[in-house]
């Protein structure tokens, strides 16, 4: 569903101005499924490290990974646009960051809930939803303690398998959030941590199918696997 032109014209400048006060911004353009998209993100995510107090880091070990658009998110978005039929599907993205995959899924006709632990990330996801004229719902979600009572047909996640402590919580969150017969797609740049995640998923009654992909970024090619997870 598209966002009305009136809402877009009213809210986008206000959101941009608020974000511009707090961040150095960059806007990049991508084409998925033959359609042009624009995404706002942080120019230098490393500059955000100074905002994290030692107390906050000890509590959550939260790093500003959300602030960048990673190859896995681009690869997953391409996969969503080119290979999935989403019309009428109820979709959640965990670790949504600035919301790229959520935006593309909504453009494909899904009803989408974009979630992230970082409230900062959700502000960018909201902006990007409006900018690309799609309707998204937004919610903070901690995959260590999922309080969302809804269940979804599909779950998407990109580049979330980077810390061992999070692997089992992510498997548990996926199990809680998917409807019976639901499917999760997890994109990962072939980190070794992914192997441990797949073992945990298998131990928790999931079957895995891997789709090897590549993302070409100028002279650099990044290998990305998309894991399709279904319950046995």
Which structural domains are found in the chain, ordered by start?
5-231 (3.40.50.150)
Q: Mean pLDDT, to the nearest integer, of 99-109?
A: 98
The residue-averaged pLDDT of 118-146 equals: 94
What pLDDT, on the 0 to 100 scale, is given for residue 121?
94
The residues, any chain, with a CB within 8 Å of residue 48's CB and separated by 6 or more, are 23, 42, 64, 67
CB burial of 187-213 (b: ≥16 within 10 Å; e: otherwise) equals bbbeeebbeebbeebeeeebebeeeeb
Beta strands in 88-205 (DSSP E): 90-93, 111-116, 137-140, 152-158, 178-188
Q: What is the pLDDT of residues 180-222, one digit of tens each?
A: 999 999 999 998 899 999 999 999 999 999 999 999 877 789 9
pTM: 0.90
Task: State how far the alpha carbon of 125 is from the alpha carbons of 12, 22, 97, 218, 229, in Å.
Answer: 12, 16, 7, 26, 25
> What backbone torsions phi and psi does residue 93 show, to the nearest 5 degrees?
-115, 130
* Tokens standing for residue 222: 């990044």
The pLDDT of residue 58 is 45
Distance, in Å, from the CA atom of 24 to the CA atom of 202, rounded to the nearest integer, reads 42
Say if residue 150's pLDDT is above 90.
yes
């Amino acid at each position: 569903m598209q966002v009305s032109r009136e809402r877009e014209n009213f809210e986008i400048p206000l959101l941009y101005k608020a974000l511009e006060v707090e961040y150095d911004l960059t806007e990049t353009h991508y084409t998925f499924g033959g359609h042009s998209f624009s995404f706002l993100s942080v120019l230098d995510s490393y500059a955000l490290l100074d905002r994290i107090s030692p107390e906050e880091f000890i509590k959550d070990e939260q790093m500003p990974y959300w602030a960048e658009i990673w190859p896995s998110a681009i690869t997953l978005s391409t996969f969503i646009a080119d290979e999935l039929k989403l019309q009428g599907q109820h979709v959640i993205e965990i670790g949504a960051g600035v919301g790229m995959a959520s935006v593309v899924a909504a453009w494909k006709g899904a009803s989408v809930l974009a979630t992230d632990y970082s409230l900062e990330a959700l502000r960018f996801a909201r902006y990007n939803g409006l900018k690309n004229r799609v309707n998204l719902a937004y919610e903070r979600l901690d995959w260590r303690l999922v309080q969302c009572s809804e269940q979804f047909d599909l779950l998407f996640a990109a580049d979330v398998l980077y810390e061992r402590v999070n692997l089992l919580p992510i498997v548990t969150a996926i199990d809680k959030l998917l409807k019976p017969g639901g499917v999760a797609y997890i994109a990962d740049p072939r980190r070794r941590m992914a192997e441990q995640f797949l073992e945990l998923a298998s131990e928790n009654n999931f079957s895995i199918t891997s789709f090897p992909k590549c993302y070409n970024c100028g002279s650099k090619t990044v290998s990305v696997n998309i894991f399709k997870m279904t319950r046995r």
